[in-house]
Every structure is written in C-alpha cells, then in structure tokens.
Structure 1
C-alpha cells in the first residue's frame, strides 16, 4: 500500500493538537469493504496508519464501539470533568502495538500457533504490568484498541536476532521456549512477542510479512 511509512501527524498551530493525515488510498479501500469514512480514518489513526489489513482487523475487533463519529472528537476531547488534562495527555500520546513473530520453520498447526502467541502475549504483559511506566503504556494501548499483529518469521536464529535488536532499542519482548509436550522439540523458539511504540517496533519487524 502506498504511503505506509508516511508521516502521520503534523503540527497544528490553531489548536495545539496533532492533525492526523490518513493514507487516502487506504481510506478508499476500507470504504470499499463497507466501512464508513470516519471509521476508516479512526482505524488508520489507532493502528499507526500502516496497512488496510491491520486497520480492518482493528475495526472488526472494535465493532462493538461507535466508530462512525469523527476522529476530531477524540483529538479534541469531550470531558468537562477534572480529568480533562489527563484526557488530553492520553489523546496526544504515542500509539503502541504488540507484535508476534512466529517461527515458520517449525510448521506448527493453527492451534499450536494460537497457544504460543497467547503464551507470548501473557508473558510479555506480566513482565510489564508491575512497572508503573510500562503499565501506563499498556493502559494507553488498551484504550487505543490493543493493536496486535502476527508476523511470519523464518527460523529460530531470526527470532533471536530480532529479540536482541528489540533489546538494543529498549523494547519489551519475550521469546517463547516451548516445553515440547506437543508438535515441537523441547526448548524450541516458537514465538517472539514485542511491545512498544509503533515507530520503534517497526524498526525491528517492519520488513516482515503478515502470517
């Protein structure tokens, strides 16, 4: 999709808020799938303006919410309570995502992959939740739809290299070493989970394809 890496925000001198610039091609493609324009723009905003597939997944995951209201309502904030300052801090925050890189050389079944991705997600979450700053990032991530992406990795060596790269960038990550009770040998590196700002995570996994 064109414009995947385009800058998503620019300074707005009128109101001090960030002005989101969605990928027009992606908006059109999402609308062709039956989503409203407002919903398409919101999905692209909350998933980092990446791909149509990721935005569509976000829309399906959040289908129980009112997605047809303009994004400007979120950016401007609607609270009249004492929490207004906190709301503005939240709305101007960076977007986060959690990605999972699956070791495709193991040829795991669908159920096994699902279990290993869940293992990575829970372990990564538990490792972060006890640290106040990291817990706050998880809260922001949760309010923005909990973007989760599953990607295809080549082998154990690649997963280990990606984990080291994530460490270098200060990104929380967890590499699952399977117990070996089913399908794979004990100690097999099955899934790597990484959490962080969209732009930072993309520095590690941006070239990988969706599973």
Structure 2
C-alpha cells in the first residue's frame, strides 16, 4: 500500500495474466479492479478473480505488498455466517448457479469462458437489484456451486430461458456483440440460479460441458 494514500492499490512488481486480464476487461471492469483481483487471488483463475470482485467490499483480506503472499484468509462477515446457519437449520435447500452454453457456435476456450463470466456477472447483478442478496449470501457461504452444461443452439437456450421465467427462477441470457469469432447478436450463454431441485427441473437432462 502507498504511504501517501492507504486506499491506493499498488503492485509495482506484479504482472497480471494477460489472457485473464483481457477477459475481465471485456466485461466492463476497470483496469485497477482487474489488476487488484488477479493480484489478490493468485493470478491464475478468472472464477476466483470474479469472486474477489463480488465480495471485495465485504471481506477483509491482508497481503504482503509486492511479495504476493497471503497473510490470512478472507474474513466472512459474522452476519452472513449467522444467516447461512439459520437457513441450514430451517431446512432450506442449497443453491447453485448453472450455465448453459450454445454448443452450435463452437466458441474457442477464451471466448466461451468470457461468455460464461458475462452470464455470471449479469445474473449476480440482476439478483442484487431484485433484492435477492440473502439467497446469494447463502450460495456464497456454502461454496458457490456452479455447473456448466451443453445447450443445443440459440433456440434451445431461449426456450430454457422462458421456462425459467415461468418458474420464477432467476435467469440471464447473453447476446454477444459479435466482435470476435461469432456473428453479431449471437445467443451464447444462459445462467440460472436456484435450489438444486428448482434448477434441475429446467436443466437436469443436459450434459456437462
């Protein structure tokens, strides 16, 4: 941290993973936030970087400057622990976030990863706006289960999206601008959130990617 400004994030010797850095930038995140997230999560995983970005305002994490060494693990707020424990005791179902990818587009690994990340961010933000933070807190506390499945094509993803909406299951459909690899306005990925039972009613018959 800078001596002149304790809030300033400084990584003089840190070089972010170029592929992950560019993928995160493509989601509309700032360079400073992307660099911080990659630095603080080991510079190896887009999933861990996104989790850090989601939770950085609530978690306390300490690091040793440019040595890139953890001092201690993230601190989970006491209120979140109490809420999650109460939910478990009351017999609530565990939540998961499921992603269905348009296999017909035959996207490369980087493109596909970016689309799934878009679907994750989009659904997370939508749920926050809709007042579903308690469900997200429960999901985060119990491991943030995520599953990526194979969809047939854009029609299939749109049909699943409509089924989710009819069942009151939070969902988010991604339509890509088509700047790389695929045509403009291509439907690339669908994200859904709910209990295991709820989500499996929509996507339970699909195969893993």
The question of whether the paired residues in 1 share the 8 Å contact of 2:84 and 2:138 is answered with no
The 5 A counterparts of 1:31-180 are 86=83, 88-91=85-88, 92-132=91-131, 134-180=132-178
What do you get for the CA RMSD once the two structures are aligned?
Answer: 2.0
1:66-89 deviations in Å (ceiling 9; x for gaps): xxxxxxxxxxxxxxx999974542
Instruction: Say whether residues 1:206 and 2:182 are aligned partners.
Output: no
SS at structure 1 position matched to 2:189 = strand
What CA distance in whole angstroms lies between the structure 2 residues aligned with 1:82 and 1:104? Answer: 41
Structure 1: how far apart are the matches of 2:126 and 2:81? 30
Label 1:155 to 1:199 Cα distance change in 2 as closer, same or farther (>3 A): same
CA 1:90–1:152 in 2, change beyond 3 Å: closer, same or farther?
same
3-state DSSP of counterpart to 2:168? coil
Structure 2 CA distance, aligned partners of 1:123 and 1:99? 13
- Deviation of 1:94 after TM superposition, in Å, equals 1.5
Report how far residue 197 of structure 1 moved.
1.1
| Inter-partner Cα distance in structure 2 for 1:191 and 1:85 | 34
Q: Which stretches of structure 1, 4 residues or more, deviate above 3 A after TM superposition?
A: 81-88
Counting matched residue pairs gives 130
- Distance (whole Å) between structure 2 residues aligned to residue 162 and residue 190 of structure 1: 13
Q: Which among 159, 179, 182 is matched to residue 181 of structure 1?
A: 179
Q: Deviations over 1:47-75 (max 9, x none)?
A: xxxxxxxxxxxxxxxxxxxxxxxxxxxxx
Tell me the CA shift for residue 90 of structure 1.
2.4
